[in-house]
Amino acid sequence: MESNEIIAIYGNTPASMTTSLIEHFDLASLIGDRNKKIVLKPNLVVAVTPDTGATTHVEIVTSLITYLQNKGFMNIKIVESAWVGDSTKRGFEVNGYPEISRKYHVPLVDVKNDSYTKKSFDGITMEISDEILSTDFLISLPVLKGHCQTGMTCALKNMKGCLSDKSKRMFHTLGLHKPIAALNAIRHADLVIVDSICGDLDFEEGGTPIETNRMFACRDSVLMDSFGASLIGFDKSEVPYIGFAEQFKVGTSNLSKMKLTNLNTPDATTFAKSGRRVRTLEGYTLPDQACSACYGNLIHALSRLQETGQLKKMAGKQICIGQGYKEKKNPDGIGVGACTCGMGKHIGGCPAKASDIIDFLTTL
């Protein structure tokens, strides 16, 4: 697996998708020594299940454990910390981690109860979990989702769960962005596997999930976040911790040098019932056999336009999207995605990125 490569897979079966990803790039060879200490770091920011759009699908974790143990890796731990004010233990329990721990003999580590070592970078001193600092191979399992303070959260910000609560509070007083980058400069993930099955539209704690039915794997956290930002409608300049992390030599944000490997292509899907805000945004769309990845990106784009007050320009307009438009022509139509090339105005892509959709819609 090359450092500039992002591997994507589409579907709604996290277990088999995870297995396909890690078998494709041969995770066992990437790790090497079977005696290495391996940590799986999911996102359990609050004690809710993945369908809320807030937390990592547990099937991803179990598929990784099964694969690793079958390959002879036995020194595995699951390490996480909920945000300040919530209980990691309750998050573990709600998602069935105690049963997983017993079944696979994999310890659960609550960072809130761990010991810490003070580490500093660029004038910022923080308390980092000793379990994290002592691990040989760290696999981060973030959820790609919106965030009310930083715009988005994915690989880089998922590392915040490796801190003491005291340092988490300090990060907020410093504005989050530079401290998040500094943390990753001290210890970043060796591998990132992103859960983008149904990440929340706006908030880290979930409640407004958007089905995009995809997962990604990448070794570069900065590259992964740059790509993830484009998918949900942000320019990397709008997420300052990406730029700080690149400045701190954590990775690259240059998407022009990214190698994107798609293991399959997204299929049309039936969408689950969505929340009130999403239903409002869906009113601007005319889906016909739309795949979740493209449709989800369109909803993210409409949300970003709503936040900036530009969505009102779309009043009375509806956007065609989906495979049902492949053979249709409409000189007055507006289309998103490669399937809508017969519309008078359209943007290609399979799937189209939210950042590109925003640029397209703002020119109408």
pLDDT tens, 296-348? 899 899 999 999 999 998 888 999 999 999 989 999 999 999 999 999 999 99
Distance CA 201, CA 224 (A): 18
Please, which residues bridge with residue 10 across strands? 214
**DSSP code at position 111:** G
Task: Inform me whether the pLDDT recorded for 272 exceeds 70.
Answer: no
CA-based nearest residue to 122, from 184, 190, 189: 184
Cβ proximity of 106 and 76 under 8 Å = yes
- Average pLDDT score over residue span 149-170: 95
Name, in order, each residue with C-beta under 8 angstroms of 79's C-beta and a sequence gap of 6 or more: 39, 40, 41, 109, 111, 114, 129, 131, 132, 135, 162
CA-based nearest residue to 298, from 317, 313, 320: 320
Arithmetic mean of pLDDT over the chain: 94
pLDDT at 274: 63
Residue 98 host element (H or E): helix 97-104
Residue 12 CB-density burial (10 A; 0-12 exposed, 13-18 middle, 19+ buried): middle
Report residue 99 as tokens.
């049963």
Distance CA 203, CA 199 (A): 9
Q: Percentage of the chain surpassing pLDDT 90?
A: 83
Task: Inform me whether the pLDDT recorded for 86 exceeds 80.
Answer: yes
Helices (H) and strands (E) in the chain, counts: 14, 16
Cβ proximity of 304 and 235 under 8 Å = no
Please, which residues bridge with residue 42 across strands? 141
Task: Inform me whether the pLDDT recorded for 277 exceeds 90.
Answer: no
Please, which residues bridge with residue 138 across strands? 39
CA-based nearest residue to 71, from 104, 33, 100, 25: 33
pLDDT at 218: 98
Domain boundaries, the chain: 5-262, 276-361
Distance CA 266, CA 108 (A): 34
**DSSP code at position 322:** S
For the CA atoms of 84, 88, 93, 98, the dihedral, rounded to the nearest 10 degrees, stands at 180
Cβ proximity of 150 and 176 under 8 Å = yes
Q: pTM (2 decimals)?
A: 0.92
**Phi, psi for residue 259 in degrees, rounded to 5:** -105, 110
pLDDT at 18: 98
Distances (CA, A) of 356 to 105, 210, 294, 301, 344: 46, 18, 12, 9, 17
Distance CA 204, CA 326 (A): 36
The vertex-328 CA angle with 322 and 332, nearest 5°, equals: 95
Distance CA 189, CA 192 (A): 6
**Which numeric CATH code is attached to 5-262?**
3.40.50.11440
Residue 85 host element (H or E): none
pLDDT at 271: 65
Distance CA 59, CA 18 (A): 8
Distance CA 275, CA 313 (A): 23
pLDDT tens, residue by residue, 43-54? 998 999 999 999
Q: Greater confidence, 93 or 201?
A: 93
| 3 state DSSP class of 13 | coil
Q: Report how far apart the first and last C-alpha atoms of the chain are (Å, whole number).
A: 40
